[in-house]
Every structure is written in structure tokens, then in C-alpha cells.
Amino acid sequence: MPTDLFLTIADIPVALEWSPPISRVKTPPAYRPFLSSGRAGTRLRLSTATQHLDDGIKAFESPPIWSLYRSPSGLSFHIYDAYPDLRRTLFIPPAGRDARLDFSGSDWDPFAGPAMELLLITVLADCEGVVLHGCGIDAGGRGIVFAGESGAGKTTLSRLWFEEEGGEILSDDRVIVRRQDGGFRLYGTPWHGEACFAAPGGVPLERIYFIRHGSWNHASNMSAAGVVRELLKCSFPPFWDASGMRAALEFFDALAGAVPCEELSFTPERAVIDFVLSSALRRAALPYRQQGVGEAFSLDDRGWKAAPTSGT
């Protein structure tokens, strides 16, 4: 690994700087598509010389992986404290743009563990963006997200889509959505799932599906409140920060009003892709505000059709 390494994730440039430089760490394959030239907006300094600072008060934890301590000087994420070889601390000052990752154990790989993702979650809170638990597709310049918790079917859908032509899988587990230039854009991340898809992306977000396995392909519109609730369940906002959570809720409310969001029950077969594309084309003929809550779509042997439903 060179002295300086530059990444761009969701149009956010990040510089990794070793002090002193070491040579035994390599960039993982999932991060290589995100390598960029020397443009640094956020800096992450990497050091094997542990800094001794007042950690402050424990504010949040995600056991057994990390715990968060808050002090006037910033946030300290204690990562892998239960695993001596992997132990490290991510320190993020209030501005969030000059962070530091100190290694206490023998493993000096900055890509191991959640440090990079925690840093991006914090930075995104200040630039109208959020990490979603979802599979992201670039379907010919149209961004589609299949969002859901573990086991909902994200990996299944990514593998089905991989067999298609004309589309790119941005991620099978984590995507980023940002509000930019009056709209919303979809980006991939290096934090993939079982299928190991990771690509930068950067396409207009056209639709979000909240997915679950079912006995047939069926989609229905949702209320704005229902969309915000599902986004909270399928996202990684800064739960430890009150102002960051207020920004996330405002972001979700704006997203629910601007981007069509539906519940999708599907079978693990190629027909669901035809259903999604046909439904999207049909919906594109109507302004979003005319697409009433309570309208559902299903797919049978004759193709997709509309059917009444009670909505959410």
C-alpha cells in the first residue's frame, strides 16, 4: 500500500495517509473500482502509534463489533475490542473531515472491519446522503434499489440481474443515495454481500422496492409514512447523533415525496426482472403524484396487470 491512497465513494473523495508508511497492506478487490487520483476531501490518517486521548462517555454500541465514546474533541469508535489482533480506534473530530484510525493490534489493514463505513456514514450526514441496506442496479442509466433486511432476497435479485444484459450491479448489500442537483442519485459501495458485487455507479435514482419473498410477483404503492418507516428499517443513519438523525428523517421525507417506492413480493425466477422493468415503464407514463396509494401490480402468464389493494 502506498503512502497515500485516494478513493472516491458516492462522489466523496477520501485520502488514506499512512504515518509512517508500511508495505504489507493491499487494496482489496472490492475497493479497487473506487480508486481515484489525488483529490482529498476527507482525510483518514492511519497510524500504528496509538494516540492517548480522553475517550469521554459511552454513547452507543453495536456489540460485539464496536462501541462509541463521545467527548468534546470528537467521536471515538472502539472497534474489535474483544479481538486483540484486530483492535483499532477510529477518531472523528466534529468537522468529520480529518479523521484518524489507530491500530492497537497486529492487523494493520484499514479495510478490515467497519471503520471506512462508519466514516462515510458520518460524512454523509453533512452532505444529504445515507447508506441503505439494499441491492442497487444501474439499468441503462436508471437507478433501481431493492431494499430489505438480511434474508429479504437482495443477493437472489442481484444474481438474477447479473444474468441479464444491459445492466450493472452496483452492490448486492450496501448502496448510497444522495440528494444532488435537485434530485436523488444512486451509488454503489465497496461493502458488498455474499455475491460480491461492487461498482461506483452514480445514476439518477428512479425507484425503490422494499422486498420480500413471496409466491408470486406483486408490487403495491405505499404511503409516505410507510416509506419513511421502511427506510429507517433498511438504512444506516448516524443513530448516535441527534442532529444527524433529524437530517436523515428530513432526507427520507424528501425521498418519499420524490422517488416512487413500492413493496415488492417476488419469486426467485427471471420473471421478476420482466415484471420490474414492465412496471417501471408503465409507471413512467404517469407523474408520480398521480400514482395513487392502493394500486398494485402483479404478473401472471399473460404479463403484468393492475389490481386494487388496500395499500399501506
> What does residue 12 show for φ and ψ, rounded to 5 degrees?
-110, 110
Average pLDDT per consecutive 10 residues, the chain (312 residues; last block may be shorter): 80 88 81 86 86 79 94 94 94 88 92 96 93 94 92 90 81 96 96 93 95 92 94 94 93 96 93 84 46 38 35 36
> In whole angstroms, what is the distance from residue 88 CA to residue 163 CA?
40
> In whole angstroms, what is the distance from residue 97 CA to residue 124 CA?
11
DSSP 3-state of 289: helix
Long-range contact list for 289-297, CB < 8 A, 24+ apart? 291/221, 291/260, 292/221, 293/221, 293/222, 293/223, 294/220, 294/221, 295/220, 295/221, 296/218, 296/219, 296/220, 296/221, 297/218, 297/219, 297/220
pLDDT at position 166 is: 63
pLDDT at position 212 is: 92
pLDDT at position 121 is: 96
Burial state string for 28-64 with b = 16 or more CB within 10 A and e = fewer than 16: eebbebbebeeebebebbbeeeeeeeebeeeeeeeee
Complete DSSP assignment for 171-207 = ESSEEEEEEETTEEEEEE-S---TT--B--EEEEEEE
Sign of the Cα torsion 26, 174, 135, 288 reads: negative
Residue (of 96, 69, 67, 70) closest to 79 by Cα position: 67
> In whole angstroms, what is the distance from residue 209 CA to residue 205 CA?
12
Residue (of 191, 258, 260, 254) closest to 219 by Cα position: 260
> In whole angstroms, what is the distance from residue 214 CA to residue 59 CA?
39
pLDDT at position 286 is: 40
> In whole angstroms, what is the distance from residue 103 CA to residue 88 CA?
4
pLDDT at position 52 is: 61
pLDDT at position 303 is: 34
Q: Which residues contact 247 (CB under 8 A, 6 or more apart)?
A: 125, 126, 128
> In whole angstroms, what is the distance from residue 50 CA to residue 78 CA?
12
Query: Per residue in 3-33, pLDDT tens?
Result: 688 999 999 999 999 877 666 678 999 999 9
**DSSP letter (8 states) at residue 80:** -
pLDDT at position 184 is: 97
Grid coordinates given for 253: 421525507
pLDDT at position 163 is: 81
pLDDT at position 185 is: 98
User: Strands 174-180 and 143-147, how do they pair?
Assistant: unpaired
pLDDT at position 302 is: 32
> In whole angstroms, what is the distance from residue 112 CA to residue 101 CA?
12
Domains of the chain: 4-124 (no CATH), 129-308 (3.90.228.20)
**Count of CA atoms in the C-beta half-sphere (13 A) of 187:** 24
Question: What's the start-to-end Cα distance of the chain, in Å?
Answer: 50
> In whole angstroms, what is the distance from residue 115 CA to residue 192 CA?
15
Complete DSSP assignment for 1-35 = --SEEEEEETTEEEEEEESS--SS----GGGGGGB
